[in-house]
Amino acid sequence: MKLIKLTAISAAVLASTAALAADPVIVVDDNAAVAYEAEPVAVAYQAEPASYAYDANAGVVSNTTGAVVGGTKGFFNKVVNPASVSAEVGTLGYGANIGWSLNEKTELQAGWAGGDVADLFGGDFDANDVNYDVDADFSNPYLGVQVRPMANWFTMGAGIIVPDNDFDVTANSEGGEGGYYEINGARYDADSVGSLQGTMEHRNKLAPYATIGFRPNITNNFGLFGEIGAAYMGKTDATVRSSNQSNDTVQIRNGDGDQTVDSGLTAQQVANLAEQELEDKDYLEWMPIVKVGATYRF
């Protein structure tokens, strides 16, 4: 009888353990019913310290730390692992940018373009009737977004430039040897005015821009791009000085001949007139953006 009891007890315990049940196990013999309560199954759980949030609708407490930490890691990984790097050259200068993919069609870009790029747009320009040689010192950091609205090579871009562009200008006289500067319709004798040199810079500290372009992929990782558009740089501040700083008045050429008459203006006053013409020149108010480059995608 004892052997039967032990066998029955062992079988009951094994059966309850295999089923992972915590219900009591009842064993009956000839004299009495004896209840054996199975030990609850022990589960080991180790977790990082967590913060919890109570969901009133579901009536449960949930761990929010994993989601927050996971989201932060995802954002950090995107920042330190950009989607692309590009090199570019154009009217804003020589430069590069880094891109981060926000989704399949949208990319955030941060870049810089600058240097002396005056030769890219001819190296000179006309302000009314005076021609100026230009040396440029550009610095154009920018932040923008590139969108592929049709998920193909066509792109649209927009963003903000922080311009710090300086132009050094030198006036060229007209009319051959000796020559003249034609300012406000008057031809001031170049010999009496002296050389006219100055600087220009944009007034805007922030310049919005917009572009359209194309970005075809040549391989899985390598591609080319081109963009055209404009940036609103605002008016320019100009400073022009004459090499003749005397108080002598300068001469005006009379007609097509060599006859001259007294203008009643000093050379620096003539330079001030040229300065005003430069500031009134509005083609630099909207800075054209034309650039090409290459992109490597990770």
Structure tokens at 253: 């050429």
Q: What is the pTM assigned to this prediction?
A: 0.66
The predicted structure's pLDDT at residue 257: 56
The predicted structure's pLDDT at residue 175: 80
The predicted structure's pLDDT at residue 77: 56
% of the chain residues with pLDDT over 90: 50
More confident call, 1 vs 203: 203
pLDDT band at 195 (very low <50, low <70, confident <90, very high): very high
The predicted structure's pLDDT at residue 158: 98
pLDDT surpasses 70 at 23: no
CA dihedral sign, ordered 271, 118, 136, 112: positive
The predicted structure's pLDDT at residue 256: 60
Q: List pLDDT tens digits, range 70-103.
A: 544 454 455 556 889 999 999 999 999 999 999 9
pLDDT band at 283 (very low <50, low <70, confident <90, very high): low
Q: List pLDDT tens digits, range 196-209.
A: 999 998 888 999 99
Say how far apart CA 154 and CA 159 lie, in whole Å: 17
More confident call, 43 vs 74: 74
Q: List pLDDT tens digits, range 111-165.
A: 999 998 877 766 888 888 899 998 989 999 999 999 999 989 999 999 999 999 9
| Least confident interval from 129-138, 172-181, 226-235 | 172-181
Mean residue pLDDT of the chain comes to 79
The predicted structure's pLDDT at residue 28: 47
Q: List pLDDT tens digits, range 47-60.
A: 445 444 544 444 44
The predicted structure's pLDDT at residue 224: 96
Strongest mean pLDDT among 23-27, 137-141, 254-258: 137-141
Mean pLDDT calculated for residue range 247-251: 92
pLDDT surpasses 90 at 171: yes
pLDDT band at 218 (very low <50, low <70, confident <90, very high): very high
More confident call, 290 vs 76: 290
